[in-house]
Structure 1
Amino acid sequence: MNEFGALNWSILIVYVVANILLGLVIGKKIKTDQDFYIGQKNTPWWAIGISVVATYVSALTFLGAPAWAYNDGISVIAIHLNYPLVIMAVIIFFFPFFYNAGVASIYEYQEKRFGKRARALISSIWLVSQTMSSAAVLYATSVVLSFITGIDVIAAIFIVTIIALIYTVLGGITAVIWTDVIQSIILFAGAGIIFYALVTEADVSVIDSLTQLKAEGKLDPLNFDWDFTATTTVWSGIIAMSLYHTTVYGTNQMMVQRTLAAKNIGDAKKSYLLMGFAAFFIYFFFIVLGVLFYTYYEGRTFENDNTIILQFAADYGMPGLMGIIAAAVMAASMSSLDSAFNSLSTISTLDFYKKYFRKNETNAHYLKATRLFTLFWALLIIFPAIMYHLHSSGSILEVLSKVGSYFVGAQLGMFALGFFFKQATENGLLVGTFAGFVVVAAVALGTDIAWPWYCLIGASANIVMTLIASRIIDGKQTELSEYTVKGQQLKFAREGLDEKENGWYRVPGRVDRINYWLFAFFILTIVFLWSFQYMV
């Protein structure tokens, strides 16, 4: 702990105190439970967009992406090719339903489309999956603090939880968004310093490093093999992971909730479009960092791959750098944890406590309940984080993705059935969702199929079994629900509603012009990666 030094401790402490003070300032404006959930609808779109980026990039990318690329090479980028397609799908189909309804819980859609049991089911699935993924984020951060300060990993888990909990309880979603903005600046500043140091400290030039990496097969970004047991193929990235990430960005309360704080649907869409255009560059940067580390350390084996970037920072020896890196990783971590705490407490209050236990209380009562639920989830997440510490040594980014893959198929299937299938009923949905979990478990335990395909498999099983069970249990449906995509389009036409608001579509299924630019950007990234392997 003494090796960390006074300068590094000062940097880290200033960062922590600044986050807590910001929570205190914003917390003074929190008067109702709605303020806590979605703020006062005056947050600028760019701040929400940066918050979205910071939340999903997180410490898992800062540590896990270089670790993953260190072992598997630049082909890891295939998993992240799909963001333009994902963002297109979410803002075309998902956002209009959520934003037009004026909800704080996106799972209210399931109740309107199917019924109370469907809402309770998907809310429960999300609570479990988000707890596990947040625990992975918490573990990743504890690794950092332990490595660079000497604090015990388990003690670090408690420390990070308490810090993120304080300002989240105080300031709600608005504090989450604005602290995320600050945290993203620190995160990318730290990553930029590491990249500069790596390039200048290496014994060989970047070009020579890339040449050597290519000879070792580390610079083949596009693997077109139809090998369903391989994780990082083009097809797993474009097909399987497009569905996976659509679930993350479209059916995940933690990601969507901050966009509900936007002034209008146009601002909500713009906040996500920022991620659509920026994600490729962010992940490509961290993955290239990982393969350059492979050259720098000559492929040496690490006890825990997630500490590679930290080991380099320690070896570099720049005064204050470890403090900056510690603050950067804590920033990355807390940008995810604060969002998770806020969203977990929101769903607990709205989808369960308010709905089934205390239906007619005051706003002040629900605000207090939400803050208590925030405390509850923060404490609960500590336990799976400790389990990750005891049983994980590979890339924490890949570990998180594997954990999430067991749940995303069910979530995506439930929304797809609601959006597109007239014949789906609530009874059938309950049967189909259970069947989807069984199929995914059987595939995971009985085959070598790679985890990116679990979402497609689970969602497909859910959809097929739901439609069969719906017909058997409830018979043929003659009425089209207004909460399908087609139903919404007919409603807008029947009632003469404006399809656009400030130039942005409010009705699901309509394509805003900028989406065509986003698709063109996706094609350009494929062309760039195809060319990249011939540039070196």
Structure 2
Amino acid sequence: MTTLDWIILIGTLLTIVGYGTYKTRGSKNVQDYIRGGNQAQWWTIGLSVMATQASAITFLSTPGQAFNDGMGFVQFYFGLPIAMIIICMVFIPLYHKLKVYTAYEFLENRFDLKTRSLTAGLFLIQRGLAAGITIYAPAIILSAVLGWSLNQLNIIIGILVIIYTVSGGTKAVSVTQKHQMAVIFTGMFIAFFLILSYLPENINFTNALEIAAANNKMNILDFSFNLENRYTFWSGIIGGTFLMLSYFGTDQSQVQRYLSGKSLKEMQLGLIFNGILKVPMQFFILLVGVMVFVFYQFNEAPIHFNPHAKTVVASSSFAEEFNTLEAEHHKLFNQKKEILNAYTNAPSSDLKAEITALNTAEKSNRNEAKIVLEKAANEQLVKIETNDKDYVFIHFILNNLPRGLIGLLLAVILSAAMSSTASELNALASTTTIDLYKRSISPNQTELHYVKATKWFTFGWGILAICIACVAYLADNLIQLVNIIGSVFYGNVLGIFLLAFFFKRVQANAVFIGALITQAIVILGWYQDWMPYLWLNLFGCILVIVIASVLQLFNPKNYENTNS
């Protein structure tokens, strides 16, 4: 990192924070603070919705996911456009008609207070955990790569977000997210074209795609029904649709983004804009990861991308074993480079088979290195992340981009972390204030009182998110961890809303008990790995509908009394 990188990084972040704080200061009522005065236009809503979902995890983990496993992860998003259409037709008109501040207000109108409180509580649990992860994700990686203190990074990111989110509420989040998305798109496009320019002169984009395809990185569609495959066309279309329905239709961090719209039409256009742009955006980010893979076919990559892990093994009794694996890694790279040059000049099935065999051997060698790293960590009594997917892209940035652009790409990662975390804190505070504090603890207070309460809850959730970030531990892949947390809760929550929309005979007690039973079963199913996590969304949704409907059959008087 040069002085220029630091200037660009710090200047970008402080400008965004300062601008958001200045433009949205002084909200005096709940309408302005929580719903942004209902002034947002469709493009602001669309970018804000996109920025809320596209956290730093997206820009760190997704390229690493493609580097290791190829483009198949894009299937995860195939259900998103379908979900956007359903939400625009069913969810948004109801929310707009009732003029709700949170999605969970609707549930009290349809069922009762305890069902509203339970659903709001489920949201607070899963989104509170996710807020800590969205801070922790960039912090742990930047800490390992740059040598900064992990806890200091957690605190810096958290405090920057708290400043403008507390100050301006929903409007501050939306205003800053437009600029953050501009920084993000600019940085990713620059990175993509720089990667292509770094490839050998005889390798154009078409050749690069051929090399990626020769290594099975361009297998986008998997139509198998094998539940062992985590990402398939069917899991994306079916499981993904239910996940996106729940996330965009019932998760307050997203609902609050479009409830700030000027009109029903603006809200709907904002979500349609997101539905049209989101899949191509994720495809492009994955493609960046694939191009990083191609780059490292001609430029030697480390055997392991986590620098902290290599430091640990160097001071252990396994150092020599690790060095032997590195030497083998170097040998395989040189062999592969020769064959790749021949393949690009005259592609053939025989050369493709040799490339595939060498990459398989290289992958096996990397896996052996991970085992050695785990042994070294156990010997040293330290914890290290041996799965290095999340370190691939940041390693490329720091070691290959020119001065100034490193600062810009780091600003991309931190801007994404800030934008997503700000939405989460804003939604957590709004839900706490409207669904719990105002409704059940301290009703009949002034508007200014609830604005101040929301600010304090924002601050409190921000501190809690920082604390979670400081004690978190990396999972197999960060973007998967966030989606797993969501999938454990989202299906149940979506089922409750679908019961409210379409099952008029099912009443509050049946839904409440059914939701409790369903959540326990889904958690058990996730813990015992009954199915890939995407299918938990469909499973939880159907389960709560079935259980609540059966319970209602045993208590038909409840329906008769409520309709007499």
Common fold by TM > 0.5: yes
Superposition deviation, residue 433 in structure 1: 0.8
Match among 408, 421, 424 for residue 324 of structure 1: 408
Q: Does 200-209 or 181-190 show the bigger shift?
A: 200-209
Pick aligned residue for 2:489 from 394, 397, 407: 407
Correspondence list, 1:398-437, <5 A: 398-437=480-519
User: Does structure 1 residue 464 correspond to structure 2 residue 463?
Assistant: no
Report the more deviating stretch, 135-144 or 451-460: 135-144
Shift in Å, 1:150? 3.0
- Tell me, yes or no, if structure 1 residue 350 matches structure 2 residue 349: no
Q: Between Structure 1 and Structure 2, how many residues are aligned?
A: 476
Alignment partner, residue 95 of structure 1 = 92
SS of equivalent to 1:428: helix
The one-letter code matched in structure 2 to 1:238 is: I
Q: Which residue of 2 aligns with 1:106?
A: 103
CA contact (8 A) 1:197 1:316 kept: no
Q: SS in structure 1 opposite 2:101?
A: coil
- Deviating more after overlay: 414-423 vs 119-128: 414-423
- Which of 439, 451, 454 is matched with 2:533 structurally? 451
The match for 2:63 is 66
Post-superposition shift, 1:200? Answer: 0.8
Partner of 1:290: 289
Please state how far the C-alpha of 1:71 moved relative to its aligned partner: 1.7
Bigger drift between 268-277 and 33-42 goes to: 33-42
Q: Which amino acid aligns with 2:218?
A: L
Q: Which moved more, 1:127-136 or 1:177-186?
A: 127-136
Tell me if 1:384 matches 2:383: no
Asked whether the 8 Å contact 2:492–2:518 carries over to 1, the reply is yes
Shift, 1:385, TM fit: 2.0
Matched, 1:309 2:387: no
Q: Deviations over 1:316-341 (max 9, x none)?
A: 24111111011111111111111111
- The answer on 1:79 being equivalent to 2:76 is yes
Task: Please give the residue correspondences for 1:196-215 in structure 2 after superposition, counting only pairs within 5 Å.
Answer: 196-203=193-200, 204-215=203-214
In the other structure, the counterpart of 2:14 is: 17
- CA distance in 2: counterparts of 1:230 and 1:476, whole angstroms: 43
Structure 2 match to 1:245? 244
Q: Distance in 1 between matches of 2:555 and 2:448?
A: 43
1:473 and 2:472 aligned: no
- What amino acid sits opposite 1:186 in the alignment? V
Alignment match, 1:41:
38
- 1:218 match: secondary structure: coil
Deviation string, structure 1 residues 129-165 (Cα, Å, up to 9, x no partner): 1112222211122135425643212210111000000
For the 8 Å contact 1:143–1:307, the answer to whether it is kept is no
Amino acid at match of 2:522: V
Please state if 1:51 is matched with 2:48: yes
Which stretches in structure 2 are left out of the alignment for 5+ residues?
Answer: 307-387
Are 2:274 and 1:275 equivalent residues in the alignment? yes
**Distance in 2 (alpha carbons) for counterparts of 1:446 and 1:149:** 37
Give distance in 2, aligned partners of 1:45 and 1:89: 18
Structure 1 unaligned runs (5+)? Answer: 482-536
Instruction: Quote the offset at 1:355 in angstroms.
Output: 1.1
Q: Is the 8 A contact 2:55 2:416 kept in 1?
A: yes
The CA RMSD measured in Å over matched residues stands at 1.8
- Do 2:132 and 2:464's aligned partners in 1 also have CA atoms closer than 8 Å? no
Give the drift of 1:474: 4.4
Structure 1 counterpart of 2:216, which letter? G
Could you tell me which residue of structure 2 aligns to residue 438 of structure 1? Answer: 520
Output the CA distance in 2 between the equivalents of 1:278 and 1:20: 26
Alpha-carbon distance between aligned partners in 1 of 2:558 and 2:28, rounded to the nearest angstrom = 48
Structure 1 301/178 Cα, relative in aligned 2: closer, same or farther at 3 Å?
Answer: same
Counterparts of 1:421 and 1:93, CA distance in 2: 14
Instruction: State whether structure 2 residue 348 is matched by structure 1 residue 264.
Output: no
Per-residue CA deviation, residues 254-307 of structure 1 (Å, 9 max, x unaligned), is 101121111110001011111111011100001111122222224854333212
Alpha carbons of 1:149 and 1:442: their partners in 2 closer, same or farther (altered >3 Å)?
A: closer
Q: Which of 192, 196, 207 is the matching residue for 1:195? A: 192
Task: Say whether the 8 Å CA contact 1:409–1:436 is kept in structure 2.
Answer: no
2:143 to 129, 143, 146: 146
Distance between the aligned counterparts of 2:398 and 2:474, measured in 1? 25
1:336-347 alignment to 2 at 5 Å?
336-347=420-431
- Larger mean CA deviation between 187-196 and 40-49 belongs to 40-49
2 CA distance for matches of 1:19 and 1:215?
Answer: 43
Distance 1:217 1:448 in 2: 28
In structure 2, what is the Cα distance between the partners aligned to 1:270 and 1:317? 37
Q: Is the 8 A contact 2:17 2:176 kept in 1?
A: no
Alpha-carbon displacement from aligned partner over 1:72-95 (angstroms, at most 9, x marks no partner): 211111111122101001111100
- Relative distance call for 1:472 and 1:266 in structure 2 (3 A) is same
| 28-37 or 201-210, larger mean C-alpha shift | 201-210
Give the TM-score, by structure 1 length: 0.85
Which protein has the larger Cα radius of gyration, Structure 1 or Structure 2? 2
> Aligned AA for 1:305?
K
Question: For residues 418 and 31 of structure 2, what CA distance do their matches in structure 1 show?
Answer: 22
Q: Residue 70 of structure 2 aligns to a residue in which SS? A: helix
Q: Give the letter for the 1:259 counterpart.
A: Y
Query: Do 1:147 and 1:310's aligned partners in 2 also have CA atoms closer than 8 Å?
Result: no
Task: Name the counterpart of 1:513.
Answer: none
CA distance in 2, matches of 1:442, 1:348: 27
Structure-2 residue corresponding to 1:517: none
Partner secondary structure for residue 40 of structure 1: helix
How many percent identity over aligned positions?
29
> Retained in 1: the 8 A contact 2:102–2:255?
no
2:417 alignment counterpart: 333
User: Match of 2:100, SS?
Assistant: coil
Amino acid paired to 2:63: P
1: CA distance, partners of 2:257 / 2:524 = 36
Structure 2 vs 1, CA of residues 309 and 129 (structure 1 numbering), >3 Å: closer, same or farther?
A: same
